[in-house]
């Protein structure tokens, strides 16, 4: 059973940056497409960024130009660089395969954007 552990969240002011990491216990990122998802209070979980096995990326319109997803297969880690953060980016961020596998949802990492 692969485990995914997210880290790197925190409290940041509007306009600030954070880099999230997702470490996998196995080499799934090199064989499956991966996504970063987020869930804000009272809202459904949504995909914000995805990367496939050949490195092509896609982004939700709300984060295009601000967020960058990347992957290090040697470290079994996927990253999400978040710049120009806005209060509406506040959410718990999760990584998972894309499409997601229910058993792989982790605890997520909280991102709060506030002054």
Per-residue pLDDT of the chain in tens (115 residues, 90 and over written 9): 788 999 999 999 999 999 999 999 888 888 889 999 999 999 999 999 999 999 999 999 999 999 999 999 899 999 999 999 999 999 999 999 999 998 889 999 999 999 9
- Alpha-carbon gap, residue 11 to 114, rounded angstroms: 7
pLDDT at 29: 82
- 15's tokens: 């306009």
Burial class of 99 by CB neighbour count within 10 A (0 to 12, 13 to 18, 19+):
exposed
Residue 27 is predicted with a pLDDT of: 83
Q: How many CA atoms lie within 13 A of 40 on its CB side?
A: 11
Q: How far is CA 77 from CA 12, 43, 90, 114, in A?
A: 23, 27, 23, 28
**pLDDT at site 31:** 84
């Amino acid at each position: 059973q692969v485990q995914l552990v997210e880290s790197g969240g925190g409290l940041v002011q509007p306009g600030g940056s954070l880099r999230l990491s997702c470490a996998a216990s196995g080499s799934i990122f090199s064989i499956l497409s991966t996504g970063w998802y987020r869930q804000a209070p009272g809202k459904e979980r949504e995909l914000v960024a995805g990367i496939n096995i050949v490195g092509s990326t896609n982004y939700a319109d709300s984060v295009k130009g601000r967020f960058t997803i990347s992957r290090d297969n040697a470290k079994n880690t996927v990253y999400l660089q978040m710049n120009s953060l806005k209060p509406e980016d506040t959410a718990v961020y999760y990584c998972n395969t894309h499409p997601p596998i229910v058993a792989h949802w982790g605890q997520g990492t909280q991102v709060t954007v506030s002054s």
